Amino acid sequence: MKRLAIRREPDFNRYLTALGRGQPAQVPFCELKHDPEIIEAVLEEPLVPPGTPEDKALDRYWANWVRCLASLGYDDVRVGCDIPLVRHFIPAPDTAVYSRGQRTWQPESEGLIQSWEDFERYPWPTPEKIDYSALEAAARHLPDGMKISASTHGGVLEWAMWLMGYVPFAYALYDAPDLVTAIFRQLGELMLAAVEAMASFEYVGAIFIGDDMGHRHGTLVAPEIIREYVMPWHKRMAEAAHRHGKPYILHSCGNLTQIMDELIDYCGIDAKHSFEDAIMTVGEAKRRWGTKIAICGGVDVDKLARQPEDKLRQYVRRILEECAPGGGYLLGSGNSVTNYVPVENFLAMLDEGLKFSGG
């Protein structure tokens, strides 16, 4: 295993302290996602795919995943439930450093639901069909001090756009608002049920939902659309998490400047993840919103993927010097540790975090 020279034992209280805008003794790590190829590169062994028809494949998969992150200094492992929703993909070659052979993409111009007839035919799952077995498998291998940050594999806005296609969705907002409302209601009730259940699990320490709402220059749809259709569901999910004493972390890509105050004050998010230097540096985000919420990540993925290690280390140190003082900051990538990030750069980012912390 490619281990860091300096490491620490998991301590979820460190993670919670930072999410509560406190100042832990060491800066915690926070990540939306690590591609499996990155975990394999760190472990220097292949992961057994969770769907492999082999005894305890899911258990072995998460045992190795937890072992990897715990060894690197993480206090949490992000694990999602499986809400069995179906959508349409387009395959494409994967040209990443640690290629999996093929990637899949969501087409913008088409989706499975284009009409009320499609809506009625769609195989909507019930809350009873939500599968929590991945969380249960990961929980069996959590070391002392480590907990799960639980997710739903996509948010209400993302799934509405995936089911319809971005372009048809945009038209339907004006041509078929009742259909859009019905789709959001189906998705929202499913995700709310999942959050309510996951927040009740003792081994879950936080709810960490991803729901991309923006692009580089603004929100994916008009802010008033997000206020009407999306925010009420995030408010209800945050309230469900809080009822169980769990913080609610929102990952959302893009420029959300127009709606950030409402995500904080109306929805009640405790922390925001996903920052890109071309939109707003994580340091600027900390200055703007760090008195109200915790700030997570912010090591720009382009730099994480392409900078030489020495320059990347300098860049990470600058982020830590800017964001860590005063607390309320968790170190990680600006989005996720993708399979086109050199594993040496990923480890260098964590190493700088541990050195800065005095770990």
Give the mean pLDDT of 314-329: 98
Residue 217 burial (CB count, 10 A)? 8
Give the mean pLDDT of 33-39: 96
Q: Which run of H or of E encompasses 52?
A: none
pLDDT for residue 2 is more than 90: no
pLDDT for residue 359 is more than 80: no
Angle ∠(119,121,125) on CA atoms, nearest 5: 85
Confidence of residue 320 (pLDDT cuts 50, 70, 90): very high
Chosen CATH of 12-357 out of 3.30.380.10, 3.30.56.10, 3.20.20.210, 3.40.50.300: 3.20.20.210
CB 293 within 8 A of CB 264: yes
CB 192 within 8 A of CB 236: yes
Please report the DSSP string for 233-257 in residue order: HHHHHHHHHHHTT--EEEE--S--T
The packing angle between helices 343-357 and 309-323, to 10°, is 40
Q: Which run of H or of E encompasses 2?
A: none
Would you state the structure tokens that stand for residue 140, as one six-digit string? 């069996």
On average, the pLDDT of the chain sits at 95
Confidence of residue 175 (pLDDT cuts 50, 70, 90): very high
d(CA 324, CA 353): 10
Residues 264-296: pLDDT tens digits? 999 999 999 999 999 999 999 999 999 999 999
d(CA 182, CA 344): 46
Give the mean pLDDT of 107-129: 95
The 3-state secondary structure of 95-161 reads CCCCCCCEEEECCCCCCCCCCHHHHHHCCCCCHHHCECHHHHHHHCCCCCCCEEEEECCCCHHHHHH
Which tops the pLDDT comparison, 100 or 116? 116
SS3 21: coil
φ, ψ of residue 22 in degrees (nearest 5)? -90, 180
For the question of whether the overall pTM of this predicted structure is more than 0.75, the answer is: yes
pLDDT for residue 352 is more than 50: yes
